[in-house]
Amino acid sequence: MMSALAHPWRAWRHVVKLDPARNICDDALVAIAESGTDAIFLGGTQDITYENTNALLGRLHRLAPNLPLWQEISLADAVVDGVDGYAIPVVLNAGSPAWMIGAHAKAIEKYGSWIDWSKVLVEGYLVLNPQAAVAELTAADTSLTPREAASYAAAADALFSLPVLYLEYSGTFGDPDLVAEVARTTRRSHLFYGGGIDSYEKAVAMAEHADTLVIGNALYAENWRTVLRETVRAVK
């Protein structure tokens, strides 16, 4: 049986993902800290640097000191110290093997002796929004049917024993039927869902199937306070 202490993400229902390359005010960070969310991820696809990641991390240490802070790594040179853990995406439907194993092997070759593997979480990603920057970067096959997505999920779960499967719609609300089919297929993998959650109703719809909701782009909209309050309420 997995320990909740050793695998804290298994208890998360609501996670906030903040992009170091995007501006966010101190008021929003304080509101996030007080919202009831379970953790904060730092991560993005474009214009991520060590400098902007470390700057955001420093603000979070000051304004949200009691929340778990994890970095989702998209660029090895942007890895920072001072986080509780590192999430490593493996894009299962990528068009290039670089995003399944190649970039990871190069990073381990360079930094392997410094990696604390007890703080590493591997995420099997399915990228499903063709307009997303991550879809373009990884040349992902985003046209998966629910049955095809479930097959990827079964492989991630049963063949590769990935602890987390992440359905990434990146700013667009996804297909609840696909998410439901994937949820029925997974047995051991913890299911993350991210994309287009900007209301109580959408959060309820996806929380019915996913173990953890990831709220990101909606927090940069004008109604971010409402999004934050209502999405936490939906899952708690």
Give the DSSP per-residue string, 55-119: HHHHHHHHH-TTS-EEEE-S-GGG--SS-SEEEEEEETT-SSGGGTTHHHHHHHHHHGGG--GGG
- Asked if 90 and 131 touch (Cβ cutoff 8 Å), the reply is no
- Binding-site residues: 17, 19, 45, 166-171, 196, 216-217
- Binding-site residues for Mg(2+): 19, 45
| Closest C-alpha to 126, from 168, 154, 87 | 168
Q: CB-based burial of residue 176 (10 Å sphere; 0-12 exposed, 13-18 middle, 19+ buried)? A: middle
- Binding-site residues for sn-glycerol 1-phosphate: 17, 166-171, 196, 216-217
For residues 48 and 125, give the distance between their C-alpha atoms in angstroms, rounded to a whole number: 19
Residue environment code for 83-102, b if the CB has 16+ CB neighbours within 10 A, otherwise e = bebbbbbbbbbbeeebbbee
Q: CB-based burial of residue 2 (10 Å sphere; 0-12 exposed, 13-18 middle, 19+ buried)? A: exposed
For residues 140 and 96, give the distance between their C-alpha atoms in angstroms, rounded to a whole number: 8
Q: What is the CA radius of gyration of the chain?
A: 17
